[in-house]
Amino acid sequence: MKIYFTILLLFISLVSFGQAVQDLTITVDGTDRDFKLYVPSSYNPSSPAPLVFCFHGYGSNANTNFSYTGFRFIADTAGFVLIHPQGSLDITGTPHFNVGWGLSNIDDIAFTQAMIDYARDNYNINSDRIYSTGMSNGGFMSYQLACQLSNEIAAIASVTGSMSPQTFNNCNATHPTPVLQIHGTADGTVPYDGDPLFTKAIDDVMLYWVNYNNCNSIPETTPIDDINTNDQSTVDHLVYGNGANGSTVELFKVYGGDHDWPGVFGNMDINASIEVWKFFSRFDKNGALSVYENEALTSFKISPNPVQDVLKITHTFEKESLFRILSIDGKEMMSGKMSHASHSVNLSALKSGAYLFVCEGAIEKFILK
């Protein structure tokens, strides 16, 4: 396969953060394919960076997915390179990724490989830390990558997606693969209980990966605090642990949840983007990261939570650290610097609600009364 790269001249400036979003085109097997690439200012060319893909849903596009998922805000502190691919048009003229539904002959596996190759050629990418997530059709695509591009993919997460029967029956993963699923029990587009025409039941998908990874057959279940009683849904976090190489299979089961991206629309008790990165950050292609690395991801604590006016942060960072406070949908509300082991932030300028405290690649959610 010959791959030709053409970089478009369009760069969109994100003034508030000083980074640039690149709109790129590559030619794969004679077909031009587009994607958005985001490199945060925290990227250090001398240090290999993780690479995260986020695929949009059927009929959507990369721009919309880039906007609402807010992964760029997480990348700013976590330091990963971010790619949002644009799907091609199927026979109905709808943007999509080919996961075997019979409406396309586009090779999106080759497209993904080409984007990985581009990222490697132009940036210092940690090849052991390449991840894929996506919404709906993008979740299906992430499962397909876990099965058909296993040599490149360390872990995957699906939000409202599943495995197509074609992917389920032809999965050729080559290493234990951590899997995270976020799905609503009332999803009217990709039914939780499946549909024989295009999607496997979520419980069947979980069982497949539990068996493949040799995880515990009975999950540990943790109810998530119902911090928003107006969203008409609640969440349980199911963890099938102790898999090969430390892998896990995990499910955020949203009771009453529809075809949504939690934290942006639908359930507001969790933020899907944050949960996806917290999951990815624990693994590379060889399995679970060391205890030391995992501890570094949660090296600050916030209190009290819920809080009324002043938030106290205790941390172990050895240098002055920038923090941001984001709304639950990823908008920056406050920012500042911490230079001491204990730091206080006055929240009187904020309205009551749920917020995210982000610092040094770690994220914690808090409630302001």
The domain total for the chain is 2
- Provide the whole-model pTM: 0.83
Q: DSSP code of 150?
A: T
**Same domain (yes/no): 333, 200:** no
Reported as type and span, the H/E element at residue 294 is helix 291-297
Sole residue written with tokens 């939570």: 305
Distance between CA atoms of 199 and 293, rounded to whole angstroms? 36
**Same domain (yes/no): 279, 311:** no
pLDDT of residue 19: 56
pLDDT of residue 193: 98
**Same domain (yes/no): 348, 270:** no
pLDDT of residue 6: 36
Residues 30, 31, 34, 39: what is their CA dihedral angle, to the nearest 10 degrees?
A: -30
**Same domain (yes/no): 270, 200:** yes
**Same domain (yes/no): 238, 363:** no
**Same domain (yes/no): 204, 273:** yes
What average pLDDT values come out for the chain (369 residues) when binned by 10 residues? 37 42 95 97 92 98 96 89 97 96 93 98 97 98 98 98 97 98 98 97 98 98 91 97 97 98 93 94 92 50 87 80 79 85 90 83 79
Of residues 109, 206, 131, the one with CA closest to residue 163: 206
Q: What domain range includes position 342?
A: 299-368
Query: Domain ends where: 276, 294, 312?
Result: 294
**Same domain (yes/no): 285, 309:** no
**Same domain (yes/no): 163, 276:** yes
